[in-house]
Amino acid sequence: MTQSDLLSSPKKYSSLDGAIKAIKEMKNDPLANAGTNIVISRGNPNAKLLIVGEAPGPQENIQGKPFVGKAGQLLDKILEAGNFDTEKDVYITNSVFRMPPGDEGSNFRKPNDTEIEYYRPFVFEIIRQVNPFIVLLTGNVASQSILGKTGITNLRGKWIQSQNIWIMPIFHPSYLLRNQSKAPGSPKSLMWDDIREVRRKYDELMAG
Ligand code: URA
């Protein structure tokens, strides 16, 4: 089950801009002292397709927008393959709004449970404000944030309906960058199946 109590609970802010302002002003952010910038969203706030990623990486930290590095470029290509206009049809956010600073040998790391939990109510508020038909969760961190579960290989490609929202976990584009095979059953070919199914469902929901 999804954490549908959060999706169905009333909006906390009167507008998306109000929610974003509150996020920028939030207190007790576990990553506030990480020395990284706040990165919240990009795309069309009226879009019917919303994507939740993991956390900003170095490029996103510099540019202040999610998914603008290599993984983001691949995400845009995947969306374009599904015939989505990445400016018009999509709104993109993350599970965590600051890049978690890395340990030795790397300049960033995956967000931990405390960080995911801290940001979760804000991510849900963004979803409630945008009110999309479809939410795609890229990888385990986004699935943990929104569904409270991980295991992307099993979760991917399956719809979960919560309120009026259709949610589908998909692979994270960074995983595809590490697995370049296009053979049947490979992550890339499964992603292709998933984006086609997303297109089908999107058309069905848009037709009302
Ligand atoms: N990976 C993510 O999950 N989000 C970003 O914004 C960038 C890379």
Per-residue pLDDT at 15 exceeds 90: yes
Answer whether 98's CB lies under 8 Å from 38's CB: yes
Query: Smallest Cα–Cα separation from 84: which of 170, 207, 201, 208?
Result: 201
pLDDT band, residue 108 (cuts 50/70/90): confident
27 CA to middle of ligand 1, Å?
Answer: 23
| Beta strand spans in 121-159 (E) | 134-138
pLDDT band, residue 33 (cuts 50/70/90): confident
Number of H helices, E strands in the chain: 9, 6
Give percent above pLDDT 70 in the chain.
Answer: 96
Answer whether 47's CB lies under 8 Å from 87's CB: no
pLDDT at residue 194, as a whole number: 98
What's the number of domains the chain is made of?
A: 1
Answer whether 130's CB lies under 8 Å from 91's CB: yes
pLDDT at residue 1, as a whole number: 43
> Between these two residues, 103 and 16, which has the higher pLDDT value?
16
Answer whether 110's CB lies under 8 Å from 56's CB: no
Helix (H) or strand (E) holding 200: helix 187-207
pLDDT band, residue 163 (cuts 50/70/90): confident
Query: Average pLDDT, whole number, for the chain?
Result: 93
**Cα–Cα distance, 207 to 201 (Å, whole number):** 10
Domain span holding position 39: 5-206
Per-residue pLDDT at 135 exceeds 70: yes
Least trusted range by pLDDT, from 24-33, 125-134, 181-190? 24-33
Q: Measuring from each residue's beta carbon to the nearest atom of ligand 1, which residues come in under 6 Å?
A: 53-57, 60, 66-67, 69, 71-72, 94, 138
3-class SS at 142? helix
**Cα–Cα distance, 8 to 161 (Å, whole number):** 12
46 C-beta neighbours (distance < 10 Å), count: 12
Q: For a ligand 1 pocket test, name from 36, 60, 91 the mutation site with the most ligand atoms within 8 angstroms of its C-beta.
A: 60
21 CA to middle of ligand 1, Å?
Answer: 21
For residue 151, the domain's CATH number is: 3.40.470.10
